[in-house]
Amino acid sequence: MIATINNFQVDLSKPIDISIPLSNTNENPIAWYIDKPVIEPVKFDEWIGKVSSGMSSTNFNNIQFNPHGHGTHTECLGHITHDFYSVNQALKQFFFVAELVSVELDDQEGDFVITKAAIENALNGKKPEAIVIRTLPNDADKVSRKYSHTDPPFLAEEAALFLRESGIQHLLIDLPSVDKEKDEGKLLAHKAFWNVTDVKNLNADARLDCTITEMIFVADEVKDGSYLLNLQIVSFENDASPSKPVLYSILEVK
């Protein structure tokens, strides 16, 4: 189905899902020192909410998970602030022009970093509403990787500042965090992107309507370039929500 959205034509029958599904298996990616998600039927005494148990006419599962540690998630600045801010209130539009870029990591004394230069070169002057960053090498095991205590790559503070100054509102990345795993709580890239200078007394120009989406996966066959992004979240009143970002190839610009 071909649709015209703003000045773009896209084929809605060919979505490119860049989210990682959540499961209760060992294939689920994990970060931040937690165990895998739990998905199990409700139990009342001897009754089990599972059709195959012979006790229930429906499957009736409880799910326990952490948005930040268990897969693709979208967060607002409430992730780092003293006062509560909800991603469900921050994200009120769901379609954006996005640029997918692939970037090489820079080895800085053993830390692998996404630099400002790498981002600036990849964008080549473009200033989209959203950026989707695919790090290289793009190993397929990103969809099941166990990140805890591995010091994954991260985004340099000056790169996050460059994205903010470029007017990019939504940042999507295939890492568990834009910041270094163990950084003494500095969270430099988060703060730079959201323009948060004081987590207890939020500055007036903090970017309340901007989001960061982490732990995506973009397959190699998806080419760098411009896409229409549909950024879908669950209606959780929380700093973060599991999310399903979907790209659509732009067929024509009118």
The pLDDT value recorded for residue 3 is 73
Q: Tell me how many helices (H) and strands (E) the chain has.
A: 4, 17
For residues 122-137, b (16+ Cβ closer than 10 Å) or e, as one string? Answer: bbeeeebebbbbbbee
Question: Quick one: fold of 2-27+67-253?
Answer: Glucose Oxidase; domain 1 (3.50.30)
Give the model's confidence band at 163: pLDDT under 50 very low, under 70 low, under 90 confident, else very high: very high
Number of CB atoms found within 10 A of residue 113's CB: 18
Span 13-42, pLDDT tens digits: 999 999 999 999 999 999 999 999 999 999
> Average per-residue pLDDT in the chain?
96
Asked if residues 38 and 45 have their Cβ atoms less than 8 Å apart, the reply is no
Q: What is the pLDDT of residue 23?
A: 97
Using DSSP's 3-state secondary structure scheme, residue 203 falls into coil
Over residues 122-147, the pLDDT tens digits come to 999 999 999 999 999 999 999 999 99
Cα-based distances in Å from 236 to 33, 56, 67, 239: 23, 28, 11, 8
Is the pLDDT assigned to residue 6 strictly greater than 90?
Answer: no
Phi, psi of 7 (to 5 degrees): -105, 15
Instruction: Please say if the pLDDT value at position 51 is more than 90.
Output: yes
Q: 2: pLDDT confidence band, cut at 50, 70 and 90? A: confident
For residue 165, give the amino acid letter: E
The structural domains of the chain, with segments of one domain joined by +, span 2-27+67-253
CB 233 within 8 A of CB 67: no
What the block records as the tokens of 215 is 């732990």
C-alpha–C-alpha distance, residues 232 and 243, integer Å: 6
Instruction: Select from 170, 187, 174, 177 the least CA-distant residue to 230.
Output: 170
- Asked if residue 8 has pLDDT above 90, the reply is no
DSSP class of residue 5 equals: E
- Residues above pLDDT 90, as percent of the chain: 94
CB atoms within 10 A of CB 31: 23
Q: For residue 44, what are the contacts with CB-CB under 8 A and spacing of at least 6?
A: none
Residue 115's identity, in one-letter code, is T
Q: What is the pLDDT of residue 253?
A: 67
* pLDDT, tens digit, 9 for 90 and up, residues 73-120: 999 999 999 999 999 999 999 999 999 999 999 999 999 999 999 999
Instruction: Look up the pTM and report it.
Output: 0.96
Q: Is the previous residue joined to 242 through a cis bond, with omega within 30 degrees of 0?
A: no
Q: What is the pLDDT of residue 254?
A: 60
Q: Per-residue pLDDT averaged across 227-246, rounded?
A: 98
- What mean pLDDT comes out for the span 188-213? 97
